[in-house]
Amino acid sequence: MNVKGLMKKELKAYFNSPMAYLVVLFFVLCLNIFFFFFGQFFAHDNANMRGYFQIVPVLFILILPAISMRSWAEERKLRTDELLFTLPLSEFEIVMGKFLSGVFLLVLMILLTLPVPIMLNMFGNFERGQIIGEYMGTFLLGMAGLSVGQFISSRTSNQISAYIFSVIILIFITFIGDITMIINVPPVVGNIFSYLSLSTHFESFEKGIFDTRDFAYFAIIISLFIYLNIKVIKLKK
């Protein structure tokens, strides 16, 4: 079994349960309901989709842990983790196989939202660059959240614990930049909190701004938690 084979195994496990279908449906429905009804898109004379993506960080806090919680916690519950370690795969390949299966589900969720901008283009001339930036930011934010959730799952004993701790950690690193709105902190500390915040870097993509610093930030977060996950697996072996 190679990385591709492990990825297929993980995807099969996802779609053999109602979880994958519920997660995808929840994501798409919530985005559209929030945008068209609560956001009252048709009542505004704006040819942009910023309102469509504003809720994405909050949805990801709830959805991504549901995807990642089973990656390692389920293996431990079924006692198949030891069998997995006997496969002719390195720790990196095992972790990436699980991570890429979650990314596949993330891509599926994002693709199912594409009919919305296609349909709305009939009502006005939307800025394609901004929409591309928003989708790119959504993809990077999703991968970052999955890497965090998968690492948490490797450190917990069951799926419920993995979900709860992942939600807590994602809330913290997503909105840490907003802490200055609650308490007074020195400007230097505020700038550090803002830089560490997932939502801060996502906002740039929302505006259609392609900043290499934001790409670098997400790349660091994803790489860091994948690395930590590999370290945990090596220790368990």
**b/e per residue, 166-188, with b = 16+ CB within 10 A?**
bbebbeebbbbbeebeeeeeeee
The whole-angstrom separation of Cα 153 and Cα 166 is 8
Please tell me the total number of residues recorded for the chain in this structure: 237
Mind listing the pLDDT tens digit for each residue in 1-23?
A: 578 888 888 888 888 888 889 99
Mind listing the pLDDT tens digit for each residue in 54-79?
A: 889 999 999 999 999 988 877 777 77
Q: How many CB atoms lie within 10 A of CB 26?
A: 15
The whole-angstrom separation of Cα 1 and Cα 156 is 26
The whole-angstrom separation of Cα 99 and Cα 93 is 10
Q: What is the pTM of this model?
A: 0.90
Cβ neighbors of 184 (< 8 A, separation 6 or more) are none
- Residue 79: which region, alpha, beta or left (left: phi > 0; alpha: psi -120 to 50)? left
Q: Which amino acid is at 128?
A: R
Whether the CB-CB separation of 66 and 163 falls below 8 Å is answered with yes
Mind listing the pLDDT tens digit for each residue in 130-160?
A: 888 889 999 999 999 999 999 999 988 788 9
